[in-house]
Structure 1
Amino acid sequence: MHQFPVLLSLIAVSVLLMVTPVIGYRPWPHLKPNSSDLTLGSSKKFEGSSEFVQMRYHMGPVLTANITVHIVWYGRWQKSQKKIIREFINSISAVDAKRPSVAGWWKTVQLYTDQTGANISHTVHLGEEKNDRFYSHGKKLTRLSIQSVIKSAVTASTKPLPINPRSGLFLLLTSDDVYVQDFCGQVCGFHYFTFPSIVGYTLPYAWVGNSAKLCPGVCAYPFAVPKYMTGFKPLKSPNGDVGVDGMISVIGHEIAELATNPLVNAWYAGQDPVAPVEIADLCEGIYGTGGGGSYTGQLLNDKDGATFNMNGIRRRYLVQWVWNHILNYCSGPNALDQ
């Protein structure tokens, strides 16, 4: 359990203002890789063991205290959409969910430790929420203006979001009519930490966008398919909302990486801390045994034909796997060899 270093905060202001946040999700190989991808070969689909992947700990803090996820709902959201996402976050710690479960997926994230040997917390729960339904910073956001949205949420005159740098995460979710810098072309979501010069604190945060109108074939695959994949039919989403069901996997991706690399100086592979390859990056597009490339791997179907790979408290979800640094391959609760 660490207080985030003041020194790092100062460095963040003076050096990292020109650095882009960690690109936490690019769904398919046709998108431009970051620089450290090249050290891992031409593909990042490592479901099987690979000697090319060296996931290393760089001595930074990880989230070993109970994790609280505070949500900023930016734009207009339906109640049903909020409910799907809330239940997913609450499912991360729901140990009584039917197997394979979201909680079982989180057990792989829990394998990661800090320098004292303390594991990532097993407890992840929903914190406070803030609605920004009037688009206070417009419908086109840059990477830095995202931090300004978070500042507005934590400094609001009424019911500001609480600040706990040790165990609190901020999740900014943008509605389907909001465009964020590099959305669809390079990213579906990313994570980083706020700059004290903008927000007043160093706070881990992630942004994830609803791609339903802008690029569902990119960010909501396999519930929508890109135009170039002729002959492929989209799969039926488990909760009846293509955009939000697509967001769920990206949210899981980002929360896993925020827990293991909140200040971009803890767990990652590759040699470039500016563009690290993290525990979810290594498993992009892998949702089941045999996954890789444009193949999701072995999945499950419910009686209505919807596709999923994990059970939550009351719902089902499709969530990508994460890298198991002990076994040295991507792992998930629905693996056929478990």
Structure 2
Amino acid sequence: MFGLAMEERVTKASMRPLACCLLVVVAFVVAAPGCAAFNPRLLFLVKPDPIVLKDHHGVVLTGNVTVNVLYYGRFTPAQRAVVADFVRSAASAPPPDQRVPSVAAWWSTTSLYRGGGARLRLGVQVLDERMSLGRSLSLDNVTALARAAGHHRGAITAVLTAPDVLVAPFCMSRCGIHAHAGGVGAHGKARYTYLWAGNPAKQCPGQCAWPFHQPVHGPQAPPLVPPSGDVGADGMVISLAALLAGTVTNPYGDGYYQGDAGAGLEAATACAGVFGSGAFPGYPGKLLKDPVTGASYNAVGLGGRKFLLPAVWDPTTSQCKTLV
């Protein structure tokens, strides 16, 4: 189950993209070297092989992990609140009433991986509304932004770009990446991790905001109502969630993945297109629906905010774990 990615090799040893997000394809797909792709609604012509993520015994992120967020371009306060509430909700303790599908319970699946998982904490939030590097970015620019945001060991810097910011591979081959930069040091001590996700509202909602927007190809079922009412923001949270899960379980390309190094499936990318039980190509699965707004969701966060989050591969069952 690979997502289509354009042929791309990053020459700098300090920057190796590890995961891509949300590209729609119809028939068959391949992954470019150096990039493991995540497709929210991958359409199969044949039954996929069983999913088994191999532990390659490299570094995984455990313990307290700070998530710093850099908003590049214009984000409304409401959009920033959706992102911040998601990270804070993942960092909270699961509610005692397990009948409530919580964001914290969704994140707790990563604790089943070697090392016991990472405890997320929302760190600094940086606004770069003036777009210091211009409106068109390369992946090298993304690395520079992550570095400038104050990267450090034990933290993940999330670079989020506004709908009108062009990032070289956005829409053409991916909707986000997670990567690492810095030196190679023993056990990854000199390295730091970061990710990029774009808001797909204007550039490619049919590719990167499914199931909140009708796809470019494939079955044309009516799109779901997004929990926050913002297609771009909720689509970006799906990417962010998948990338965070991939970052902590495979931060430097030698953790958990299936397939070739640098082009394999990871914790959430292995479950692309699955949001609820009974999911199949073109159908996200059984979901909950807000009786007032009609919005579809599968997890509830702090303050009752609702989210739609991708399934995560459970290493104890070798299955994609859903909350509903």
TM interval, shorter chain, is: 0.7 to 0.9
Q: Which residue of 1 aligns with 2:86?
A: 88
| Cα deviation, residue 70, structure 1 | 0.4
- Could you tell which deviates more after superposition, 293-302 or 94-103? 94-103
Cα distance in 2 for residues equivalent to 1:311 and 1:110:
19
Q: Show the counterpart of 1:3.
A: none
* SS in structure 2 at match of 1:16: coil
The offset of 1:180, in angstroms, is 1.0
In structure 1, what is the equivalent of residue 175 of structure 2? Answer: 188
In structure 2, distance between residues paired with 1:206 and 1:307: 26
The alignment yields a C-alpha RMSD, in angstroms, of 2.7
Distance in 1 (CA, whole Å) between partners of 2:219 and 2:31 is 27
The CA deviation at 1:88 is 0.5
TM-aligned CA deviation for residue 152 of structure 1 = 2.6
Match of 2:288 among 297, 300, 316: 300
**Match of 1:16, as an amino acid?**
A
Instruction: Output the CA distance in 2 between the equivalents of 1:88 and 1:246.
Output: 13
CA distance in 1 between counterparts of 2:43 and 2:51 reads 11
What is residue 72 of structure 2 aligned with on the other side?
74
Paired position in structure 1 for 2:7: none
- Aligned CA distance change for structure 1 residues 217 and 51 (closer, same or farther; 3 Å): closer
Secondary structure (helix, strand or coil) at the match of 1:125 reads: strand
Q: Quote the offset at 1:276 in angstroms.
A: 2.0
1:110 corresponds to which residue? 111
Task: State the partner residue of 1:171.
Answer: 158
CA deviation profile, 1:114-137 (whole Å, cap 9, x unmatched): xxxx3112x211001211111111
Query: Normalized against structure 2, the TM-score is what?
Result: 0.84
Shift of 1:292: 2.7
Question: Deviations 1:18-65 (Å, cap 9, x if unpaired)?
Answer: x75123313434384315899xxxx9789xx98733311112111112
Q: 1:281 aligns with which of 252, 255, 269?
A: 269
CA separation of 1:45/1:195 partners in 2, compared to 1, >3 Å: closer, same or farther? farther
Check the 8 A contact 1:212/1:242 in 2, yes or no. Answer: yes
User: Quick one: distance in 2 between partners of 1:307 and 1:53?
Assistant: 27
Determine the C-alpha separation between the residues in 2 that align with 1:238 and 1:184.
23
Q: Which residue number in structure 2 is paired with residue 221 of structure 1? A: 210
- Give the paired residue count: 297
Quote how far apart the aligned CAs of 1:333 are: 1.9
Q: Which residue of 2 aligns with 1:324?
A: 314
Contact 1:60-1:266 within 8 A present in 2 as well: yes
Structure 2 residue 113 is the aligned partner of structure 1 residue 119: no
Cα distance, 1:234 vs structure 2: 1.4
CA deviation vs aligned residue, 1:281-306 (integer Å, no higher than 9, x gap): 11111000111311101011011211
The 3 A distance-change label for structure 1 pair 245 and 44 is closer
Letter in 2 for 1:104: A
What are the superposed Cα offsets for residues 127-169 of structure 1, whole Å, 9 maximum, x if unpaired?
0121111111111111111111223322xxxxxxxx431x210
Letter in 2 for 1:280: A
Establish whether residue 248 from structure 1 lines up as the match of residue 244 from structure 2.
no
Q: How far 1:328 moved relative to its partner?
A: 0.9
Question: Aligned-pair distance for 1:173?
Answer: 0.3
Which residue of the partner structure matches residue 4 of structure 2? none
2:127: which partner in 1? 131
Task: Return the letter of the residue paired with 2:271.
Answer: C
Mapped to 2, the partners of 1:292 and 1:90 lie a distance apart of: 30
Answering whether residue 257 of structure 2 is matched by residue 257 of structure 1, we say no
Identical columns (%): 32
Looking at structure 2, the residues matched to 151 and 258 of structure 1 have their Cα atoms a distance apart, in angstroms, of 17
Offset at 1:16?
2.9
Residues 169-209 of structure 1 deviation map (CA, whole Å, 9 limit, x = unaligned): 00000001111121112211110102459xxx621000000
Change (3 A) 1:15 1:153: closer
CA-to-aligned-CA distance 1:61-91 (integer Å, 9 cap, x gap) = 1111211100111111111110011000000
- Partner amino acid, structure 2, of 1:292: F
Shift of residue 211, structure 1, vs aligned partner = 0.6
Give distance in 1, aligned partners of 2:92 and 2:309.
16
TM-score (norm 1): 0.81
CA spacing shift, 1:119–1:176, aligned 2, 3 Å: same
Q: Is the 8 A contact 2:149 2:157 kept in 1?
A: no
Q: Which amino acid in structure 2 is aligned with residue 277 of structure 1? A: L
Alignment of 1:198-217 (within 5 A): 202-217=191-206
SS at match of 2:302: coil
